[in-house]
Every structure is written in C-alpha cells, then in structure tokens.
Structure 1
C-alpha cells in the first residue's frame, strides 16, 4: 500500500492473500485483496507483488534460519509498470527493507526517476558517512561497457541522446604590448623608428610583441588615457 494504494481501506476489507503462479514456470506471487480479480491486475501490481513476495521470503528465512547471513535480490526492469511517484516510493521502501533484512539489491532499469532515487548526486550519504547505494551505468548495446563516475546530469543527457556540449575553446592570450597613437601619421613615423632589431629586443626583454594602434584622437585625449 505504501507504493500502490489499491487495497480497500473499508471495514469490510480482510487480510486475504491470493497466491498466483504461472504453469510451467517457477513464478509465484502473492496478492492482497483487490476489488477485482487478481487475473486482471496491471503490470505494476504484478511486479510489486513479485518483489513483495521475495522480500517476505527473506523475512521468513531470517525468522527461521538461526545463521541467516543476509542475501542478494536481483530484479530485472524494476520500473516496469510503475508511475514515477510509485517508482520513488518503491525505491524508498526497498532501501528500508534491504537494510533491515541485510539484502543487497541489484536491479536493472531504464527509468531516470529510479536512477535519481539512487544516484549519489541526488542522495546524500547516510548519518554514518557511508554511501551504500550506487549506480552502475552500462552503455552501447552493440559492445556493452561500463561508464564510470558519471554525474546524474551526464546520465540524463546520455539517456536522452543529447549531444555533449563542445569543449570550451581556451581563451586567446593577448601577447602584445599595445602602443596607442594619435593618428595614422604618428603610426607611419613610429613604423620607421621601430626597427626589426628593436622589436626583437623588446620581445626578448618582455616576452611581448609591439602592436601599434592609431586611434585618431587629439593629443590631449591620448595623454589622458593613462589616467584610466
């Protein structure tokens, strides 16, 4: 009921449990009392019943096995048939039960909602400073491989097939020593005064190249630039 509230809350409701199995398979699931036949349940109800049955089995093992060591629960497509809100409730519930029953849960999913409920970016570490949950992101259906240390936003972009942002170009380094001139005539004269030899000497001494810039202003304006 914490995940999918489909059970009748009226006083007439009972704790009846229906056992359902599929002939020729080992699948067995326990269902609570519905207002409809268990044969017409939804995909999400069926998945939830299978998960709840497995957890109940672990609880029975813990109760009846003196040396109960904990266990491993593997769930394929854990998000199948669940509304996003129910997905988050399911993850919260599984976390709590897994801790109590000492179960490691390994699940596959294509749901960003499920990944967000587990990913370290969106879930702080517990009160003991230990991170017990993690996301193993597998990519490329032709040659499957694990992508390590992906942020949640990177996973979100990859699953949405969003092309990555191009790497920023490094900022251009201005390696020039600017010489502001009153007008083109001054620039012409400076061009004759600054020999190649003198330019090389300046470059060797300062690591910068000289760059003349005629700005066509009056002499007083040009002299006033140094104040700013």
Structure 2
C-alpha cells in the first residue's frame, strides 16, 4: 500500500521540559540577539482561550538559535518561564498545527499531558473545530478517560498488546478502553434481575467479551427490579441500565410496573424465556434437548439415564428456588457450584438470544 506524501509533525508533550529547568534556553533568550517571532493566528488564540478558560490577547513563540520560548499577553505579560504545563502544552500543539499546510498530519503523544479534566474536554472540542476548518488531521495517544469521552466513537482505536503482536479494536467505549488500561473490568451496562439464579443464567448466556463489560445485580421481586431500574435512570447512576425479569412475570404485569414508573418497557425491560421461573425453564431445556442433557452429564461426570430421572423429579417440585440446592445435595456437588453448572449447559439456548442481542445493542451504541 502506498500512502500519499503529506507534511507530518510530531509533538511529545510528556517529554517537554519546563523552560525554567533549561539553563541553555534562559541564556539564549537573555542575550542581545533578536529572536524570530511567530504569533498564533486569531483562531488559534481564541482556541487557546477556550481550552484554558481565560482570555489571551496574544500568544507568540520567540525562537532564538533554534530554541523556542512562548510569550503570552493576558491581563499581564509573561513568558514560558512563568507559565503552567497546560499553557505550554496548548501552545506546543496549536503552534505545531499552525505550521502544517492543508492536508498535514500532526502526531501527539499523551495529548492529555498538563491539562486538567475540563481543559481536556475543551482541548478536543477546539482541535476538532480547527482541523475541520483547515483540512488537517491529528493522531494522538492517550490514557485519559476525559479525552476518550470527548472523542467520537469513530475516532477511537484501542491498541492492546498480545503475545504475538498487537490487537486493534475500532470504536471502543470509554469504559472498554479504561478496563483494558486499568486491568479490571469497568462495567458499561447494569442489568437488574430478580435473584442470584437469574443473575447466573443471564451471565452465562452472554459471550465472554460482553460479560466483562456488564454488571448484573440481583434485586428481589419483579416490581422491586423495575423500581430499582427507575431509580437508576432518574438518579443518573453509573451508565445505562436495563432489567431482565423472570419468565413467570406476565407481559401485563411488566407493562403495569413499567407504566407506574414511567418507563418504556420495550426498550429497558425484558423477560427470561418461558412462562415459568428460570430454574424450571432450565430443567425443561435440559430434559427436552439431548445436547444440553448430555453436556450436563459430561460436566458433572454423571450417567445420562439416571440424571434424566433426577431432573424429572426436580421438575415436579413446587419449590423452584430449591432446585439448584436439591441437585447439589443429590450428587454431592458444592451448593455454590451447582447453579453455575446447570446454567452453563443451556447458555447458548436460542431462546436467550433476545437478551444477548439487547445487551449487545447497548454496548455497541454506548
């Protein structure tokens, strides 16, 4: 592949030393020789004011012997020897951008360096405006969630190191990128469910890449779940949220609870498959599909025939919440492990696909 020739400049903000620490710079600019003076244009000066939240009358870069020193005029006059790192970084970026011709590319390492969170958001907004007007391009690296939030999804790439190279993911959400950088998942979507068994069923049904990005929280009764969802959305809590109710909740009940809380049930409220509690639905799936039945037999190291008889007896119980516990006691399985074991075997059931699709739509649009 051949790329067109274009002007390219590079700014590494994290490697810029404060002028006060450079004795050679002070000696060069304290001499009698006249420096070359390059003022920022009016649009760049206005951008500087918007980024840092103060009015700049003029911003100039004085270059003497190849060594640049910034000069600013606000309510007073001062040079790079007396300015903060945010000002120095803004001037370095804006002056480099101004030097580039139309179609030029500016590479910036650690673009957030020296900027406080609010200034980071203003920085991206102003740079986006300038490069759009002047037909230029910026490619930058960042570890800042504020920079990521300010960038459009189509302008983001997540670069992750792997044993045999690197993996590039296009359009990551801010939390997806921060999860990778922090090393622990940062949930992008909260899913409220009724109880711990429903939580395990929903978690197992999601693909691994989505499980890392979702927080699933058991709440209690169906009405309480819908009420908690309303509280989450109205309070503006951490990210978007939906709820998944048990299959024995009727559509009329769901709509009544949603209407009482002023929620759109079609967008934010789902039901698990079937018209029975999730424990019973799982047993039905295990009994009616040999694939799931055999998978449970293999996973639990049990004989398929006797297992089917046990599942049939469990299916007839009216205390559906006791099904995982009774299964564990029958086969000497840890009570904590049993719900994971039986839900994992039906995790790819097609009736769970609407939940997978709904979660994916939130994550892809976040």
TM-score bracket for this pair, using the shorter chain length: 0.5 to 0.7
Matched, 1:40 2:82: yes
Label 1:6 to 1:20 Cα distance change in 2 as closer, same or farther (>3 A). farther
Whichever structure has more helix as a proportion of its residues is: 2
* Alpha carbons 2:70, 2:79 under 8 Å: kept: no
8 Å CA contact 2:107–2:140 kept in 1: the answer is: yes
CA separation of 1:114 and 1:142: change in aligned 2, threshold 3 A:
farther
User: Which of residues 139, 143, 147 is equivalent to 2:160?
Assistant: 139
Distance 1:18 1:4 in 2: 16
Aligned-CA RMSD value: 3.7
The two structures have a TM-score, normalised by structure 1, of 0.55
In structure 2, do the counterparts of structure 1 residues 30 and 147 end up closer, same or farther at CA, with 3 Å as the change threshold?
Answer: same
| Counterpart Cα distance in 1 of 2:83 and 2:163 | 35
TM-score (norm: length of structure 2): 0.36
Give the equivalent residue in structure 1 for 2:312.
211
Contact 1:72 1:104 in 2 (8 A): yes
Deviations 1:116-164, CA, capped at 9 Å, x for gaps? 11142xxxxxxxxxxxx51121123987623314333211222232148
Q: Are residue 104 (structure 1) and residue 137 (structure 2) matched?
A: yes
Q: For residues 70 and 115 of structure 1, do their structure 2 counterparts lie closer, same or farther at Cα, with a shift above 3 Å needed?
A: same
Q: Which residue of 2 aligns with 1:204?
A: none
Offset, 1:98: 0.3
Structure 2 Cα separation of the partners of residues 75 and 109 of structure 1: 9
Does 2:107 align with 1:74? Answer: yes
- 1-structure distance, mates of 2:64, 2:182: 36
1:113 maps to 146
Greater Rg by CA? 1
Q: Distance in 2 between matches of 1:164 and 1:2?
A: 31
1:22-101 to 2 correspondences below 5 Å: 28=68, 30-34=70-74, 35=76, 36-58=78-100, 61=101, 69-101=102-134
Shift in Å at residue 86 of structure 1?
Answer: 0.5
Deviations 1:55-92 (A, max 9, x none): 3324xx4xxxxxxx521111111110001110111100
By how many angstroms is 1:97 displaced?
0.6
Distance 1:7 1:169 in 2: 55
- CA distance 1:169–1:87, shift in 2 (3 Å): same
- On the 8 A contact 2:70/2:88 being kept in 1, the answer is no
Aligned length: 158
Unaligned runs of 5+ in 2: 1-48, 188-199, 206-277, 289-304, 318-366
